[in-house]
Structure 1
């Protein structure tokens, strides 16, 4: 069975939501993708309580796996099996960006050459946690600020964001700190925002938090993250998550201090179909 093309009228959407709700923190991005404007970019295969979901709105497409390992293996096998009589569907893409739990790697490695990957941590903020405003002048960023955001992130570094897309600025909440005289060069000194949110599902993901190297240690990331959380709480979103590289101890310590709690670790990275897959 190939992946089912998604639409709000698709008969399996309620089942999809049911599977995602088993672990809403791990499934937060996928729950957010159930928005009417994003759902058409989703393809999925469900087997029991296992799910393989491909989001094609980014390139390469993102492959997310959820559920018991044996059910995930069955879902991937379904997606990889050719079905010529299923117009409008797709099989497993030749290249994907993985977002998978460690226990799902053996199933994924049946179809993809998983060589280069990084270990990430999914963190979530307890619904009872509220963050006090931080005394730091912040600027609410708008689409006109996209070039400045891209220029800042392009400065790079070992943990520079790689998931920024211009539509995210208009879609959610983005804040920045303008460099002052003590920061040397002008322009944005720090930035952060939401990767994705879904008001109906009550989920949001924070991301793209980045501070210029010469401006670090001044609390900019703390101020930006706190303001984003405040806005999400005011909007009534109970589930707030973020991802952080397992080796980024500075960021981990920051999010720990703000009340985020580790939910699980997972693997991400761009991979291609194995030449010896078991299709």
Structure 2
């Protein structure tokens, strides 16, 4: 005689109950939510419309970046700050009350610099302060380097100090040079990092000073009341040379200006005979 086995109805119960999660910005977020029962429960995810755990709306249909797998796993591709908030997972098989769990998804942003490269000038001998500001989740650590060589914030230096402080949206660091010298003209890199990633920005510091004296001055041609001179351009002090001042004097006399010459090769014609120095 055949015996019939009667299957018992069973309300949903958790296999994997979801809990609060943290994800790095732009990563793929996967949140498991599994339940069993008989009949097999239907799994559904919803997200709160606002900042409070209420007014939930269904997920997985209108947004192409969001997927709900058959096993109840919620997948958010390239998760963004807008995806942060309260989520509700439900398991329902029409037997007993619906099983539900509310979790909070926190999207953690790595540091980010709005400006990646900039130039800054300073006069020779003056102080200079280089500032980099990063946005992102705490804790943020900021480190400096000069032409690729690390600068220590812990070891005291008579030439520079490094100070870091928190800001509303991240962190800021100042590199202060007490008295700039020619060797301070360099590429300074600021690297900000936290548990979710890192970013960097570069500052080209240009220390400007007066130009050096022209050299290799030669008389190329001298005839009558004119003379043709040549010289080699000196170190320009990190600033364009706009003009040269040419002076002359007689064997017994004082220097007198002849002409203001634009930078570069020029031919200057004097208003009177010019004797060489």
Q: TM-score, normalising length from structure 1?
A: 0.20
**Higher RCO structure, 1 or 2 (CA under 8 Å, sep 6+):** 1
Higher normalized strand content (fraction of residues): 2
Larger of the two Rg values belongs to structure: 2
Q: TM-score, normalising length from structure 2?
A: 0.21
